[in-house]
Amino acid sequence: MDIVLGIGTLLVVLLAMTLFLNFAPFGKEGLQALSGAACSTMLPQAFLSYALGEIFHITFLKDIGDLAGSLTGVAVGILTCLNLGISPVFAVIVGLVLKDFQLLPAFIAAYLVAFGLKYIQKKVPEGLDLIVVILLAPAIAYGIAKLISPGVIAVLHQIGSAVTAVGQNNPYALAVILGLIIPVTGMTPLSSMVLATLLGLTSTPMAIGAITCMGASFVNFVLFKELKIGGPSKAFAVAIEPLTQIDIIAKYPLQLYGTNAIIGVVNAIIVTVSGLVLNTPGMATPIAGPVVLFGFNEPVKIVITLVIVAVVSIILSLIIGKLIKKLNLSKLNFKTPKLNKQAN
């Protein structure tokens, strides 16, 4: 039952974010803000606090990293408003009051308030609009976040508990699911960092997220070169951060998503066998995640696992890439119905 519940919750979260991306007003812009906030706060915390501060005992860097990590609410509030076309000044006014809230409640509050701000920008005369925003936006944004935060956090904790239960009862079943989902999600605006954060992944599941994302970097680099997608600069860019090449990736969904899913499962099983753990949530990212592993595991075990995953990813992606070319599947694609453009 725990396996069904855990897998089900993973799929429900992914489905909900996919529906939001495709059908919510400014869904893509909203999720890009969510991903950007995670990158601008959690990545500095990962590198400065966990990778450098704790491992090398540099208190100054640890303090800076922890400060950045504590401002996810501010970051997502500001970026969400900016991505929805709100004035930078208004965006900061909203973002500042969300300081004490976690990523998702702050995002929901900012996303909803942004529509009211768009109306004020259009209807209220310039100059007077600032006063109206100051009087209304901070209180409304704070009130929404305060109201929904307990429920949202409780649901996320429940999901995290279900996922943990799966890992305890059948770690390989969880490895297969995470191996399928995490690398593919990292190639979409949903962002693997955001998904891992929302699920509250820690321990071996978080190590799976980090290392499968690293493996995906090798996979994407090889496939871009093998299938002649873009030039050398594009192959290098997608290996460093796949989110920078979303437009190109979307043109080859079957080849890239499919290959990453298959190899992701293999890599996830390798990580599970290794027994590596990562107790910092949100580290499903190609570079920071593997670096932070050194704060929680024996260095030799980490290096061996990373080398195995890198070699397996390169070999399997070369084999699959050559099969795709041999079977003339390089341009194979399914046409998806175009969505109506979202109103500005």
pLDDT tens readout for residues 144-174 = 999 999 998 887 777 777 776 777 778 898 8
Query: 75: closest CA among 43, 112, 50, 38?
Result: 38
Identify which of 224, 213, 208 has the alpha carbon closest to the alpha carbon of residue 256. 224
Distance CA 307, CA 165 (A): 29
The number of C-alpha atoms within 13 Å of 136 and in the hemisphere containing its C-beta is 13
Higher pLDDT, 331 or 343: 331
pLDDT score of 344 more than 50: no
Quick one: pLDDT band at residue 49, thresholds 50, 70, 90? confident
Query: Both tokens of residue 251?
Result: 């043109």
Nearest to 29 by CA among 72, 75, 81: 81
Q: Binning pLDDT at 50, 70 and 90, where does residue 320 land?
A: very high
The domain boundary residue, chosen from 169, 184, 214: 169
- pLDDT-derived band at 343 (thresholds 50, 70, 90) equals very low
Question: Looking at the structure, do residues 147 and 213 belong to the same domain, yes or no?
Answer: no
H/E stretch holding 45: none
The confidence score (pLDDT) of residue 340 equals 43
Question: How many CB atoms lie under 10 A from the CB of residue 134?
Answer: 13
Say yes or no: 243 and 188 in one domain.
yes
Task: Please identify, among 150, 169, 188, the residue that sits at the C-terminal boundary of a domain.
Answer: 169
Question: Does any domain span residue 275?
Answer: yes
199 and 150 in a common domain: no
Percent of the chain with pLDDT over 70: 92
Domain that holds residue 193: 171-333
| Residue at 123 is within a domain | yes
Clarify whether residues 156 and 183 are in a common domain: no
Average pLDDT estimate for 199-209: 90
What is the domain count for the chain? 2
What is the pLDDT, as a whole number, of residue 177?
Answer: 87
Give the mean pLDDT of 229-242: 86
Q: Give the number of other CB atoms < 10 A from CB of residue 304.
A: 12
Q: Do 106 and 247 fall within a single domain?
A: no
Helix, strand, coil share of the chain (percent; to 5): 80, 0, 20
> What is the tens place of the pLDDT at every residue in 266-292?
999 999 999 999 988 888 889 888 988
Q: Do 259 and 177 belong to one domain?
A: yes
How far apart are the C-alpha atoms of 282 and 55, rounded to whole Å?
19
Give the other-Cβ count within 10 Å of 230's Cβ: 15
175 and 271 in contact (C-beta within 8 Å)? yes
Token match 């209220």: residue?
A: 124
Do residues 333 and 252 make contact, with C-beta atoms less than 8 angstroms apart? Answer: yes
Q: How is residue 189 written in tokens?
A: 């605006």
Count the neighbouring beta carbons within 10 Å of the beta carbon of residue 118: 18
Of 276, 242, 277, which is closest to residue 256 (Cα–Cα)?
242
pLDDT of 12 reads 74
For residue 89, the model assigns a pLDDT of 97
Q: Are residues 140 and 182 in the same domain?
A: no
- DSSP assignment string, 108-139: HHHHHHHHHHHHHHHHSPTTHHHHHHHHHHHH
Residue 330: per-residue pLDDT: 64
Contact, 229 vs 248, CB < 8 A? yes
Residues 150 and 219 in one domain: no
Token pair listed for 187: 């190639």
Answer with the residue of higher pLDDT: 19 or 182: 182
**For position 146, what pLDDT does the model report?**
97
Tell me: do 155 and 33 sit in the same domain. Answer: yes
Identify whether residues 18 and 82 lie together within a single domain.
Answer: yes
Could you say which of 136, 169, 202 is where a domain stops? 169
Q: For residues 166 and 2, is the Cβ–Cβ distance under 8 A?
A: yes
Highest mean pLDDT among 59-68, 306-315, 332-341: 306-315
Residue 341 in domain: no
Residues 259, 339, 328, 242, CA torsion sign: negative
